[in-house]
Amino acid sequence: MLRILIQILDFFYPLFGRWMSKEVYYFLACGTINTCSDWVMYFFIYNFIIQKQFIDLGWVVISPHISSLIIVTPITFMVGFCFSKYITFKHSTLKTKQQVLRYASILLCNWLITYCCLKVFVEIAGIYPTPSKMITTLITTLLGFVLQKYYSFKRHERVNE
């Protein structure tokens, strides 16, 4: 499946190759796929699974937009990690366990940013949840690329001695 995706991405790369490296192209393409699926899942979960209802766990009540975020996050985590490890940053020299832990730490930071932004955008600014999620994603994307490239999937240069 990944091989087919890489072939499709490689087919379209010449259209973008003059403006960006293949790594940036892969990041943007895979990120776009993961982000769009995230938005669709978020919309579907918010509107049809959670049905815009508050979730009362007895000790805490979770708003529908945060419940949807909690449900969609593990799915996009797995897809995003696989895209990053096997397509975008496949030349990383770090061990998989290290990559997962670093990727998870960045995801946690982005998740907290998303949580705070959703609270502000939806509950204070009155913006609908799905557009709020989209705005927040744009905020966290740039941060995500830089941290993934230079932290989660960095490459150690070998020095010849």
Q: Dmax over Cα atoms in the chain, in whole Å? A: 63
Average pLDDT, the chain: 88
Helix locations, the chain, DSSP H: 2-16, 22-44, 64-83, 96-118, 129-147
Instruction: Quote the CA–CA distance of 95 and 153 in Å, as a whole number.
Output: 9
Instruction: Give pTM, 2 decimals.
Output: 0.78
Q: How many CA atoms lie within 13 A of 141 on its CB side?
A: 17
pLDDT class for 161, splitting at 50, 70, 90?
very low
Mean pLDDT over 39-62 rounds to 93
- Is a pLDDT exceeding 60 seen at residue 158? no
Would you place residue 52 in the very low, low, confident or very high pLDDT band (cuts 50, 70, 90)? very high
- What does the domain layout of the chain look like in residue ranges? 2-9+21-52+62-152
- Residue 13, classified by CB atoms within 10 Å of its CB into exposed (0-12), middle (13-18) or buried (19+), is middle
The residue count of the chain comes to 161
pLDDT on residue 159: 45
CA separation for the pair 87, 110 (Å, rounded): 21
55-69 tens-digit pLDDT: 999 999 999 989 998
- Dihedrals phi, psi of 81, to nearest 5 degrees: -65, -45
